[in-house]
């Protein structure tokens, strides 16, 4: 593989032995620290607060609202498939449009219908509720009060990250098992061959997953995708009598290697004739072959998408840890599970 084949490839040296799951553990992240510190700061403020009535506390207290959000979020996130469900919900342009709208202010159902109509989407209120709002509510991104819909603190952070990659909603297949996301993260450690990819994901999904990612230009292979390369040996060609065409083919072969297609183009011969003369040169031990399997690596856009996914992971983990803390305080006897109970955090 040439130096130009993957120009946007970084120098990261991550482990190559295992498939990176859709949501890999990112412990003690900056986002996690900030989230927990914010919660502790609000609790301190709450302890020093002296509301006139309990109702005033419930209606105005930021700590109460945040903790209530985290309790509801915990119920959504306490699911081994949560990260996969979250990504599938976000891979829809209409849902993302709704998130961006209600992140600014609260919307009623009729206002949402008009907002979507401005963007060219004509949906009934029943369809908006069933196809778009219900999935968003299910993963804790949207909540409703008095027939008005609005985003949670968690959701606003998610929406902000999605703004870094506007094409997120249409670059990956919806309602999927997230093999594409997992493979993209695995390729962050460096290009991999087809055989290497087969070893880290279900074999029957490899070709389809690669085809999808290549079609949206998130991964690519080197320009020269041939498997077999011909190399010039160190044997002295003057010890053999080479015919003119043999010599032309021999001179076109390099010590660095050349594919059959490029050799045919360089010599002006058809593939059949090229292979015939290569066989003769191999018989004289002037040329040898070596299989160089093609590899798959990330494009610039692919690397950017992986970064967005990793940031979403950090937000999810920070929210999970905060919600666990709230649940532990409110229900000390309740079972509080660690991230390891979620298959995407393993």
Q: How many angstroms separate the CA atoms of 226 and 126, rounded?
A: 53
Domains in the chain, number: 3
Comparison of pLDDT for 294 and 80, the residue scoring more = 80
If one counts every other C-beta atom within 10 angstroms of the C-beta of residue 282, the result is: 14
87 and 236 in one domain? Answer: no
Interacting residues of 196 by C-beta distance below 8 A, sequence separation 6+: none
Residue 287 sits in a domain of what CATH number?
1.10.10.10
Q: What integer pLDDT is reported at residue 48 of this predicted model?
A: 61
Q: Are 316 and 86 in contact (CB under 8 A)?
A: yes
Residues 235, 334 share a domain: no
Write the CB contacts of 153 (distance below 8 Å, at least 6 apart in sequence). Answer: 66, 69
**What's the pTM value of the predicted model, to 2 decimals?**
0.68
pLDDT of residue 31: 41
Work out the burial of residue 126: count CB atoms within 10 Å of its CB; fewer than 13 is exposed, 13-18 middle, 19 or more buried.
Answer: exposed
Which residues are CB-contacts of 174 (< 8 A; sequence separation ≥ 6)?
88, 91, 92
Higher pLDDT, 153 or 17: 153
Residue 260's pLDDT is what? 86
Judge residue 186's burial from the number of C-beta atoms within 10 Å of its C-beta, 0-12 exposed, 13-18 middle, 19 or more buried.
buried
163 in the same domain as 70: yes
Give me the pLDDT at residue 109, please: 94
Last residue of a domain, one of 188, 222, 256: 222
> Does residue 69 lie within any of the structural domains?
yes
The string of pLDDT tens digits covering residues 133-184 is 999 999 999 988 888 998 888 888 999 999 889 899 889 998 899 999 999 9
The residues, ordered by sequence, that sit 6+ positions from 26 with a Cβ below 8 Å of its Cβ are 32, 310, 313, 314, 317
pLDDT at 128 over 50: yes
Residue 20 lies in a domain: no
Tell me, yes or no, whether 39 and 139 share the same domain.
Answer: yes
Domain check: are 55 and 161 in the same one?
yes
Structural domain range at position 150: 30-174+307-345
Residues 68 and 202 in one domain: no
Mean model confidence pLDDT for the chain: 80
Tell me whether residue 18 is in a domain.
no
Give the pLDDT score at 11.
39
pLDDT: which is higher, 334 or 285: 285
C-alpha closest to that of 112 among 150, 80, 72: 150
At a CB cut-off of 8 Å and minimum separation 6, what does 190 contact?
9, 16, 297
> Would residue 244 count as lying in a domain?
yes
- Domain final position from 162, 189, 222: 222
128 within a domain of the structure (yes/no): yes
Cα-only R_g, the chain: 28
Q: What confidence tens digit (pLDDT) does each residue in 247-287 have? A: 999 999 988 888 888 899 999 999 999 999 999 999 999 99
pLDDT in tens, 87-113: 999 999 999 999 999 989 999 999 999
Give the DSSP letter string of 2-50: -TTTTTT--------SSPPPSS---TT-HHHHHHHHHHHHHHHHHHT--
Measure the CA angle with vertex 110, ends 108 and 116; round to 5°: 100
Q: How far is residue 185's CA from residue 180's CA, in Å, rounded to a whole number?
A: 9
SS (H, E, C) 169-181: HHHCCCCCCCHHH
* Pair 238, 259 in one domain: yes
Q: Are 230 and 253 in contact (CB under 8 A)?
A: yes
Collapsing DSSP to helix, strand or coil, 311 comes out as helix
d(CA 209, CA 306): 15
321, part of any domain: yes
Are residues 64 and 207 part of one domain?
A: no
Looking at the structure, do residues 268 and 190 belong to the same domain, yes or no? no
Same-domain check for residues 45 and 95 = yes
Whether 23 is covered by a domain: the verdict is no
Q: Whose CA is closest to 99, among 62, 146, 132, 125? A: 132
40 and 86 both lie in a single domain:
yes
**Farthest-apart Cα atoms in the chain, separation:** 105
Q: What is the pLDDT of residues 54-92, one digit of tens each?
A: 555 555 566 667 777 888 888 888 888 899 999 999 999
Model pLDDT, residue 10: 42
pLDDT of residue 259: 85
Selected residue with higher pLDDT from 69 and 186: 186
Last residue of a domain, one of 268, 293, 318: 293
Same domain, 57 and 137: yes
Q: pLDDT value at position 136?
A: 94
Tell me, yes or no, whether 25 lies in a domain: no
């Amino acid at each position: 593989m040439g130096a130009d084949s993957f120009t946007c490839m970084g120098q990261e040296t991550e482990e190559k032995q295992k498939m990176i799951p859709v949501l890999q553990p990112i412990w003690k992240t900056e986002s996690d620290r900030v989230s927990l510190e914010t919660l502790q700061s609000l609790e301190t403020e709450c302890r020093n607060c002296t509301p006139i009535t309990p109702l005033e506390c419930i209606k105005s207290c930021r700590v109460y609202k945040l903790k209530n959000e985290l309790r509801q979020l915990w119920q959504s996130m306490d699911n081994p498939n949560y990260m996969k469900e979250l990504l599938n919900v976000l891979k829809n342009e209409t849902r993302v449009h709704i998130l961006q709208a209600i992140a600014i202010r609260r919307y009623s159902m009729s206002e949402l219908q008009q907002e979507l109509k401005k963007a060219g989407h004509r949906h009934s209120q029943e369809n908006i509720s069933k196809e778009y709002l219900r999935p968003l509510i299910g993963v804790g991104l949207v909540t409703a009060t008095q027939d008005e819909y609005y985003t949670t603190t968690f959701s606003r952070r998610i929406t902000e990250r999605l703004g870094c990659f506007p094409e997120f909603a249409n670059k990956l297949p919806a309602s999927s098992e997230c093999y594409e996301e997992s493979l993209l993260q695995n390729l962050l450690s460096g290009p991999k061959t087809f055989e290497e990819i087969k070893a880290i994901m279900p074999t029957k999904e490899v070709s389809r997953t690669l085809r999808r990612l290549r079609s949206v230009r998130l991964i690519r292979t080197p320009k020269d995708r041939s498997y077999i390369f011909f190399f010039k040996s160190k044997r002295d060609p003057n010890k053999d009598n080479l015919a003119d065409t043999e010599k032309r083919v021999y001179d076109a072969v390099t010590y660095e290697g050349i594919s059959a297609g490029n050799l045919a183009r360089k010599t002006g011969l058809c593939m059949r004739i090229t292979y015939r003369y290569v066989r003769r040169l191999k018989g004289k031990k002037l040329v040898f072959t070596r299989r160089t399997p093609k590899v798959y690596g990330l494009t610039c856009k692919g690397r950017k998408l992986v970064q967005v996914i990793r940031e979403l992971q950090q937000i999810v983990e920070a929210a999970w840890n905060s919600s666990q803390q709230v649940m532990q305080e409110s229900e000390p006897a309740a079972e509080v599970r660690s991230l390891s109970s979620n298959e995407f955090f393993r």
